[in-house]
Structure 1
Amino acid sequence: MTVKVVLVDDHPVVRAGLGALFAGFSDIEVVAEASDGGQAVSVVQELTVRGEAPDAVVMDLQMKPMGGVEATRLLVAMEGPPVLVLTTFDTQADIVAAVEAGALGYLLKDAPPEQVHTAVLATARGQRTLSPEVMAALVDRMQRPTVTLSARETELLELVSTGATNKELAQKLFISQSTVKTHLVHIFTKLGVDNRTAAVAAARAQNLI
């Protein structure tokens, strides 16, 4: 049986590389590609309507305008194909967000080809596949109490770490400066700090960003 896969990544070169990798496996066929999460959901819907529903989706995380976490959540809600996250992002925040959204697998892009191959097949069968690094991060998260930031708070704090001002944050996130301040207050409270520098340091120490 050939596993039909939708490949989702915002970098054409990465998609080409993964496509070439999968082409080398006789039991995997890339039936469609997408450059962001929203496009991925549309492609899956179109294929399903045509009676050609894919068996799995290989999904990157950080994409615009829709990222992999939100797309995974939508695919799960519509009872679409299972999702294998294949990304370079390995923070606890990314991992937990993807798993909570419903991703069955989570691998880093530097994983050996055979491991990726096995993960795709397992995902298509509905089996969970997590790389050792990802499993370690999840176990660490469960073994000690940690702060949980929302996706928006994480996004905002990552921008704060670049030195962005409140005005710049508001412009980049398309929200008001008042909303930015509210988010910052919530972040400071959760992390037990009282300024931006301390918040970034605390978040990094806990692998939240």
Structure 2
Amino acid sequence: MIRVLLADDHQMVRTGFRVILELEDDIEVVGEAADGARAIDLAGTLLPDVVLMDVEMPGTDGLTATRRITAQDGPRVLILTTFSRDEYLFEALQAGASGFLLKNGTPEALIEAVRVVARGDALLAPEITRRVIAAFARPAGPAGAGGPAGPAPGRRLADLTPREHEVLVLLAGGATNAEIATALHLGETTVKTHVSRVLMKLGARDRTQAVVFAYELGVVHPGPSRG
């Protein structure tokens, strides 16, 4: 059972999310918060698997709450917002969010996003992925946005083995573990090990940050196949 905490300052929005999610046999909504401060408290006491986090809330906003929750190695955070401004996107990635969706998506997309984030993967809506690729493909990338902190990027990249580099390239292209396994003629268990090592060496919290890192350093470049 996937335990979900809803954080949004609009009661009707929270109710709508609850109705959508609790129709699924494998998802349970365990709590609701109307502001970021309450979301931080409930994340620590209810121990959900996923927090659905709005961006703009009174008092402590969703981005600040996300940063606090992820800094404490808390549940994974999926950002949902009506806003699609780049500064929200990049700050959410920098704060450690594992996914970013717009509220105008379908119920099916929301349900799948919760499942993806709960199992430890990361997710960006397609239109958001295109903006990330476009921004981070530029030589300097957006200032202060999304890149993992720590040693110099070139040094982190140099730590990867040739096989791990291949895995990073495929990750950046949006490949799943199964697709990477097929492309490299490996078992999925071996691929999971390689992915874990790539994340560890890059200092990335999840696959989303690893993808951003790959585009920022020019390991891969946007092309027609990626929209």
Q: Same fold (TM over 0.5)?
A: yes
Q: Deviations over 1:14-64 (max 9, x none)?
A: 0111111112111111000001111101011122xxxxx211101010111
What are the ranges of 5 or more consecutive residues in structure 2 without an aligned counterpart?
A: 146-227
Q: 1:114 Cα shift?
A: 1.1
Displacement of 1:133 after TM fit? 1.1
Contact 2:135 2:142 in 1 (8 A): no
Mapped pair 1:98 → 2:97: no
8 Å CA contact 1:58–1:86 kept in 2: the answer is yes
> Which stretches of structure 1, 4 residues or more, deviate above 6 A after TM superposition?
none
Which residue identity is paired with 1:137?
A: R
Counterpart of 1:188 in structure 2 is: none
1:5 Cα deviation after fit: 0.3
Residue 147 of structure 1: how far off its partner (Å): 5.7
Structure 2 distance, partners of 1:10, 1:137, is: 27
Gaps of 5+ in 1: 48-52, 151-209
Q: Give SS of 1:137's match.
A: helix
Q: Is 2:125 the partner of 1:131? A: yes
The percent of aligned pairs where both chains have the same amino acid is 40
Are the aligned partners of 1:92 and 1:141 in contact in 2 as well (CA < 8 Å)? Answer: no
The total of aligned residue pairs comes to 144
SS of 2:121's equivalent in the other structure is coil
8 Å Cα contact 2:53-2:80 kept in structure 1: yes
Choose which of 106, 111, 131 in structure 2 pairs with 1:117: 111
Residue 34 of structure 2 aligns to which amino acid in structure 1?
A: S
Q: Output the CA distance in 2 between the equivalents of 1:102 and 1:147.
A: 16
Distance 1:122 1:146 in 2: 27
Whole-Å Cα distance in 1 between the matches of residues 100 and 142 of structure 2? 22
Partner of 2:159: none
Per the TM alignment, residue 137 of structure 1 is displaced from its structure 2 partner at its CA by: 1.2
Mapped partners of 2:125, 2:33: distance in 1: 24
Contact 2:48-2:75 within 8 A present in 1 as well: yes
1-structure distance, mates of 2:22, 2:106: 16
* Alpha-carbon distance in structure 2 between the residues aligned to 1:29 and 1:142: 36
Partner Cα distance (2:59, 2:143) in 1: 24
Give the alignment's TM-score, normalised by structure 2: 0.61
Matched residue, 2:49:
55
SS at match of 1:31: strand
Q: Which structure 2 residues correspond to residues 22-61 of structure 1 after superposition, within 5 A?
A: 22-47=21-46, 53-61=47-55
C-alpha contact 2:9 2:57 (8 A) present in aligned 1: yes
Query: What's the CA shift for 1:143?
Result: 2.2
Counterpart AA for 1:114: E
Provide the alpha-carbon RMSD of the alignment: 1.5
1:148 Cα deviation from its structure 2 partner:
3.9
For residue 89 of structure 1, report the CA deviation from its aligned partner: 1.1
SS at match of 1:90: coil
Q: Secondary structure at the match of 2:109?
A: helix
1:146 Cα deviation after fit: 6.0
- TM-score normalised by L of structure 1: 0.66
